[in-house]
Amino acid sequence: MTDFLDVEIAQRSLGEMAPRMKILAGLMPDYVRELEAWQAKAREYGRRFVRPQALEIDAKCRRDPRYFDWDLIRRAMPYGFLSMAIPKSAGGGGNLTTTTAVVLEELCAACSGVANVFGAHGLGISGILLGFDLYHVDRSLADVVESEKRGEPVIFAAAITEPLAGSDVEDAGYLRTAKLMTEARPVAGGYRLNGRKVFISNGSIAKYSSVIAPLDRTRPNETMSAFLVRAGDPGFSVGRVEEKMGMKACPAAELIFEDCFVPRENLIGLEGDGVRGVETVLGASRGPVGAIATGVARGAFERLVDFTVRKKTGGRRLFDQQWVQIRLADMARRIFLARQAYLDGCMTFDFTGAPKLMKLFASRMLDAVPSHVRRHPLITRVLRSATMQRTTRRMMDERLDENDLHHIQQYSSGAKITGSDTAMSVAYEALQIVGLEASLHRHELEKIFRDAKLTQIYEGTNQLNRHNVFINLFPREAGHGD
Ligand SMILES: Cc1cc2nc3c(=O)[nH]c(=O)nc-3n(C[C@H](O)[C@H](O)[C@H](O)COP(=O)(O)OP(=O)(O)OC[C@H]3O[C@@H](n4cnc5c(N)ncnc54)[C@H](O)[C@@H]3O)c2cc1C
C-alpha cells in the first residue's frame, strides 16, 4: 500500500467519514466517541491481521470450502467483536446495531468473508437478544462472553433458508404458500426437529444455531418458532458446505435435522412468535448488511486508488488524469450515500426499535439481578414461564407501534439495497479501470468483485427488499405476491 492511502483515506475517523456523526458528536459526545473507538479497533484488526491473509484464505477455501481459519478468528478475541452486542450486565459490550455496522464496514474494507463470520454470528444471537430471552442470555450468550475472554471463539449461526424456500421464509406475506421442509413437532419435554436448512453462514463451524421452524408446516404463520440447536446434538449434522462464488472465508453449510430432539428450554422466546422474530431480526440486520456492502465498496475504492497512484499511462499517473479523478469522485460520492443510508437504517432501529426496549427493561432486570441468582432453578422457571414470556411480549408490543416497525423496515431495507448496489457498481468499475491485472485470482479486486455480488442476494434479494420498502411505505394498500 502507498503512503498516500495510509494518510489520506484509511486513517479517517467516522466523524470525518460521515458528517452527521460530526454533528451528533456535539449532542452525544460519549456515543460518538464510543463508535469511533470500535471503528478504530475494527480497523486495527482488519489492517493488521485480516487484509494480509485475505487472498490466501480465499485460495484455500477455493480448494476446500470447509477450510476455516480459526487462528485468524482467535486473534479477534481481545477485540470483543463476538460479544459486542451482548448486554454489558451479561458481560458483553452492550452495543446496538450502529456500532456493529461501523465495525462491519471496517472489517469488510479488509475482507468481507472474514467480516461475515462476525456478521452471521450477530444474526444468530439477535433472536435471543431481540426476544429478550434472559434464560438464553445467561447460558449460550454467557458462553460466548466467557469463551471470548479465554481466547476461544464460540460462534452462532442463524438458520432460516430452506432448499425450496428462501425469500418466502423471511416474509410473513409469502410464508403461507412457502414450500417448507423443516418442522419441529411438539413431543414430551420438547420438540422433534426434522428437515433441512441450506446456505447457513457459519453453519459448519457454529457451536449454536438458531433454527426457525414451524410446529405445524400447514400453519407456518401461526406456529413458526425459534430453537437453539448445539453442534453435536443427536440427530443434527452438517451436510454440504457450498462452493460459493465469494465471501469464502465464511462457510455456508447445509444443516440436517433427523428426529433431532430439542428440549423445551431451548425454545427461543414464545411458541408461534417466529414470524415476528424473523421480521424483527431482519429489520435489525439489514442496516448492518448495508454496512457490510459499504465496506466492500470502500475496499474496492481503496485498492483502485492505490492502483491509480502506482500506474502511469503516457508518462502520467492515472491518479493525476482528469477522467480518472471524475470516476473516483463519483465512486466516493456513492460510498458516502451508502454510508449515510446504513447509518440512517441502524440509527432508526437503535433509537426507535427493539434495542430501546432492551435498554428499558431487559437490561434493568439484568443489572438488578446478578447472574448466579438468575441461574437459580426457581428464577429460571419464572423466566421461562409462559406468563413471563407473554408479559415481555406485551411490553414490546406496547412500546413498539406499527409506525415504528414500518420505519425500521423501510430504512433497513433501503440501506441494504443502497449499500449492495453501490458495492457491485464500484467493484465493477474498479475492476474495469485496473483491467487485466484485476482479472487474476491473485488480485484483491477480483475477490472483492465476487464478494460484492453476494450482498445483492443474501438477507433477502434486493428485489424483495425493494418490495419491502414499498409495502412498508404503503402498508394499507400493498398486497403480497401480485
Ligand atoms: C453468501 C450467502 C450467505 C447466506 N447466509 C444465510 C444464513 O446465514 N442464513 C440463512 O438462513 N440464509 C442465508 N443465505 C440465504 C439467503 O438469505 C437467501 O439466498 C435469500 O434470502 C434469497 O433466497 P433465495 O436465494 O432462495 O431466492 P428465492 O426466494 O428462491 O428467489 C429466487 C428469485 O425469485 C425472486 N422472488 C422470490 N419470491 C418472490 C416474490 N414473492 N415476488 C417477487 N419475486 C420473488 C427473488 O427476488 C429471486 O430473484 C445466504 C445466502 C448467501 C448467498
Q: What is the mean pLDDT of residues 116-138?
A: 91
Q: What is the pLDDT of residues 406-423, one digit of tens each?
A: 888 999 999 999 999 999
Nearest to 196 by CA among 209, 205, 177: 209
Q: How far is the CA of 161 from the centre of ligand 1 (A)?
A: 7
Q: What confidence score (pLDDT) does residue 267 get?
A: 94
Q: What confidence score (pLDDT) does residue 295 get?
A: 98
Q: What is the pLDDT of residues 428-451, one digit of tens each?
A: 999 999 999 999 999 999 999 999
Q: What confidence score (pLDDT) does residue 104 get?
A: 98
Q: What confidence score (pLDDT) does residue 328 get?
A: 96
Residue 234 has pLDDT above 70, yes or no: yes
Is the residue at 480 inside a domain? no
* Residue 371 and residue 242 share a domain: no
Alpha-carbon distance of 256 to 250, in angstroms, equals 19
Is the residue at 482 inside a domain? no
Per the structure, the count of domains in the chain is 2
- Give start and end residues of each alpha helix (H) in 88-180: 97-110, 112-130, 134-136, 142-149, 167-170, 172-175
Which of 40-49, 119-128, 386-395, 425-434 is the least confident region? 386-395
Q: How far is the CA of 213 from the centre of ligand 1 (A)?
A: 17
Give, for ligand 1, the residue of 458, 465, 466, 482 to mutate: max count of ligand atoms closer than 8 Å to Cβ.
458
Ligand 1 atom closest to the Cα of residue 160 is 11
Q: Considering only residues 129 and 143, tell me which one the structure prediction assigns the higher pLDDT.
A: 143
Residue 55 has pLDDT above 80, yes or no: yes
Q: Measure the CA dihedral 328/331/337/338, to 10°.
A: -130
Q: How far is the CA of 277 from the centre of ligand 1 (A)?
A: 18
- 354 within 8 A of 280, measured Cβ to Cβ: yes
Percentage with pLDDT > 90 across the chain: 72
Give, for ligand 1, the residue of 155, 167, 296 to mutate: max count of ligand atoms closer than 8 Å to Cβ.
167
Domain extent for 180: 156-272
Residue 452 has pLDDT above 60, yes or no: yes
Q: Name the domain boundary from 240, 272, 304.
A: 272
Ligand 1 atom closest to the Cα of residue 202 is 8
Residue 140 has pLDDT above 80, yes or no: yes
Cell numbers 499517473 correspond to 317
Domain of 214, CATH number, reads 2.40.110.10
Q: What confidence score (pLDDT) does residue 2 get?
A: 52
* Residue 285 and residue 264 share a domain: no
Pocket of ligand 1 (CB under 6 A): 120, 158-161, 166-167, 170, 174, 199-201, 244, 247, 252, 454, 457-461, 463-464, 481
* Residue 288 and residue 432 share a domain: yes
Residue 480 has pLDDT above 60, yes or no: no
* Band of residue 482 on the pLDDT scale cut at 50, 70, 90: very low
Q: What confidence score (pLDDT) does residue 3 get?
A: 52
The 3-state secondary structure of 231-271 reads CCCCCEEEEEECCCCCCCCCCEEEEEEEEEEEEHHHEECCC
* Band of residue 388 on the pLDDT scale cut at 50, 70, 90: confident
- Detail the DSSP E strand segments found in 404-456: none
